[in-house]
Structure 1
């Protein structure tokens, strides 16, 4: 959608729509409009020559209009007089970028919906499955896998809503004429602008946004945030799928993720693409933010920086989502490996709630002292924390033995995960209903 030929065609689509808008306003005969519109096909143009000329003119539209005028003049000299009427290069390029982005966002929305739905299936299937949470790359506590997935899902859902909200004011017509004031002078000008917007299916803003880049850049920043949300998910997937961890496995086609040198490997390629996109996106968004500092009514260089970054940013978001949404449908969760990792901690991951219980009876200073010794003994002797604590507390005069059952219940992994899962199920079901409605709408369309 953003390669050279595609963008040239988008610009020609705008020129063709401008021709028909002139016809709608009674400014050109139907025969002339037809001749001009029929010439607006990229196959009629020497694209390499356009690029070469653009280096001299500073705009691809200048040589494009020159070639278009020449082609139209050979067919209908009167029609050639109406080429590029009242517009400027930025009108054509910005509107072409809006058209390309509008189509790209429909693909992004499709893959984002697919990814969200696939994750929700995982969350519903394994909502109460106990697993280790990890902080600073170290085992921290027990959590249900449903909470892990919810932490992936909620940013994606917010990005989906934000993209819809930000697209509405950003995907609008650009048509301000040579100095950005066209459409403000009189009703006839405004009529042409409205007709052009109608032809392209684009809303008409209050005026040109030649140097008002805020709504456009906001949309770009939302795409960058989406890349970041995908990157977080991709990073987790890559860590969970490490052979030493093995909590998550990749499905997909045979040969996916194969190594050129080591036949046993199955590299997490989708995660690779997600992390790479998330790493690049801030640079693209940063370039666009810098490009907002524009001079007067037409920028010198700043707008061109934005143009250079925009396509790559959209491609990063689309490529990341395409890879992750496909991979998500073939993920396999190894529940036994998750349990093994919990058991390997010998109860140490329950140190925080145990400390709280001991503090209520023995006071925090003594509780922390006892826990420090118990945890160290657990590590050195490879014993379970519950056993070490029960032995230690039997010699503590202030510890009531009737609380031993309460202490043991803290170490009930399944009960803890199930209890936590019940708390997150409403959030998962809310997302499920929203996701199902979105997919149903897409299938109907």
Structure 2
């Protein structure tokens, strides 16, 4: 079902007029299904559909009525009934406030979900291109923020692709569970519809493109909380990637930069500064969105068959979380589109340790001859005891009689070349690129 709302943005997604129109859309769809089933006259459904627009019932009139009733759905259905003429007698037939409010919100969340997925598809496409292009681009692998082993930048991006794909999988699950019809009348058992209640629910769900709930009650807040938690986990992944990019942008590392437009200024007082602009906004969004997971779970503690207190909290959290997630996804896509890779600096940094970054390879060459533990200690002590001012790592190992007893100078030099010790980095990067594009196409 297409909503009658104008083009949505994160800022207008849950705006007053947008919500009101989504409720009108639900009322119109309900009347059409009821007319098909003979619950109300066919002419009534057409009259309700024609009147179910904000510009028809009047925004100012609706606002004024809500100020009196403090019951938005009552005011909305009252004006809709008045505007629809004779058909108005069948408006909101057997429905209750929360049925309409929650269904309207779900339809709007689904619109945002589509846009979030589009942005993630763009990110995964760009990541896949980076993984392919830089499958063989040497860089230092780092653990505990220290040089560990040589990798390629494509391999690093492969890890981002796979983690982001897991986030998409989790979002899929949350969306599948959330996009269900919470329409069950006053308490969820379809009292006002007699024997036709469950069939009405089935048909209305199909018309709105939602799945059915066996118990379409008013306290299924866990579905909303679940979805917000999935968005928070997505924010965690985005934050991890963006934080790493931010660190790699630091001047002392310089392996990554943002492509900034001409005229961008970094500081009002320091003329030399060109600060990162895009990554910092993404990081701010992710921190805020992550923080909404805990309050979202508070909304699941509703009581009995209806609880306005938790519903008020839920509305507040959704108003913040869904537009924020949409903004975060768009900004993340914009950031990744501007990422530039400085391959020469990556290679330079990978060689900062003078070959020490690849000494695991040398150790594994010695291991069959003297044992792995002894080989580890031998290489470790040779590096530990050498002075960079006096000799290189390679020279320190060449000066060790035990090493020389088993390996030639050429073998030592070859072992310490980081370009020859990147493991499966290249093949993993290329496989991840294929997987990333596959997920992007599905999104």
TM-score range, shorter chain: 0.7 to 0.9
Counterparts in 2 of 1:197 and 1:438: CA distance versus 1, 3 Å: closer
User: 1:263 & 1:107 partners in 2: Cα distance?
Assistant: 38
Q: TM-score by structure 1 length?
A: 0.86
User: 2:76 & 2:439 partners in 1: Cα distance?
Assistant: 48
Q: Residue 339 of structure 1: which of 319, 325, 347 is its match?
A: 347
User: 1:68 & 1:315 partners in 2: Cα distance?
Assistant: 27
User: 2:194 & 2:313 partners in 1: Cα distance?
Assistant: 33
Deviation by residue 1:388-432 (Cα, 9 ceiling, x = unmatched)? 2212x13x4x85154544333221122223x43344145324315
User: 2:292 & 2:125 partners in 1: Cα distance?
Assistant: 28
Q: Residue 108 of structure 1: which of 100, 106, 116 is its match?
A: 116
Q: Residue 408 of structure 1: which of 406, 409, 413 is its match?
A: 413
1:45 is aligned to 59
Shift of 1:178: 1.0
Shift of 1:211: 1.9
Shift of 1:41: 2.2
Counterparts in 2 of 1:332 and 1:51: CA distance versus 1, 3 Å: farther
Shift of 1:75: 5.2
1:125 is aligned to 133
2:233 is aligned to 225
User: 1:195 & 1:382 partners in 2: Cα distance?
Assistant: 82
Kept after mapping to 1: 8 A contact 2:398/2:404? no
Q: TM-score by structure 2 length?
A: 0.86
Shift of 1:226: 1.2
1:330 is aligned to 338
Shift of 1:129: 0.9
Counterparts in 2 of 1:412 and 1:373: CA distance versus 1, 3 Å: closer
User: 1:183 & 1:257 partners in 2: Cα distance?
Assistant: 64
Q: Select between 7-16 and 157-166 the one with higher mean Cα deviation.
A: 157-166
Shift of 1:109: 1.1
Kept after mapping to 2: 8 A contact 1:346/1:382? no
2:6 is aligned to none
Q: Secondary structure at the match of 2:141?
A: strand
Counterparts in 2 of 1:88 and 1:269: CA distance versus 1, 3 Å: farther
Shift of 1:370: 5.8
Kept after mapping to 2: 8 A contact 1:258/1:267? yes
Shift of 1:16: 1.9
1:421 is aligned to 425
Shift of 1:208: 0.7
Shift of 1:51: 6.6
Deviation by residue 1:349-393 (Cα, 9 ceiling, x = unmatched)? 2344444555655563685266235335345x27421112212x1
> Is residue 15 of structure 2 the alignment partner of residue 3 of structure 1?
yes
User: 1:151 & 1:183 partners in 2: Cα distance?
Assistant: 52
Shift of 1:110: 0.8
Q: Secondary structure at the match of 1:18?
A: helix
User: 1:115 & 1:205 partners in 2: Cα distance?
Assistant: 34
> Is residue 346 of structure 2 the alignment partner of residue 304 of structure 1?
no
Q: Select between 181-190 and 1-10 the one with higher mean Cα deviation.
A: 181-190
Deviation by residue 1:224-283 (Cα, 9 ceiling, x = unmatched)? 111111111111111111222211121254456754554544433332233223212232
User: 1:324 & 1:74 partners in 2: Cα distance?
Assistant: 45
2:167 is aligned to 159
> Is residue 28 of structure 2 the alignment partner of residue 16 of structure 1?
yes
Q: Secondary structure at the match of 2:438?
A: helix
Counterparts in 2 of 1:48 and 1:70: CA distance versus 1, 3 Å: closer
Kept after mapping to 1: 8 A contact 2:225/2:296? yes
Which blocks of at least 5 consecutive residues in structure 1 are unaligned? 440-445
Deviation by residue 1:155-179 (Cα, 9 ceiling, x = unmatched)? 1112223323332232011101111
Which blocks of at least 5 consecutive residues in structure 2 are unaligned? 1-12
Map 1:363-374 onto structure 2 (within 5 A): 364=373, 368=377, 371-372=380-381, 374=383
Kept after mapping to 1: 8 A contact 2:161/2:436? no
Q: In the comparison of the two structures, how many residue pairs are matched?
A: 427
Q: Secondary structure at the match of 2:149?
A: strand
Q: Secondary structure at the match of 2:421?
A: helix
Q: Secondary structure at the match of 1:249?
A: strand
Kept after mapping to 2: 8 A contact 1:45/1:67? no
> Is residue 91 of structure 2 the alignment partner of residue 83 of structure 1?
yes
Shift of 1:36: 2.9
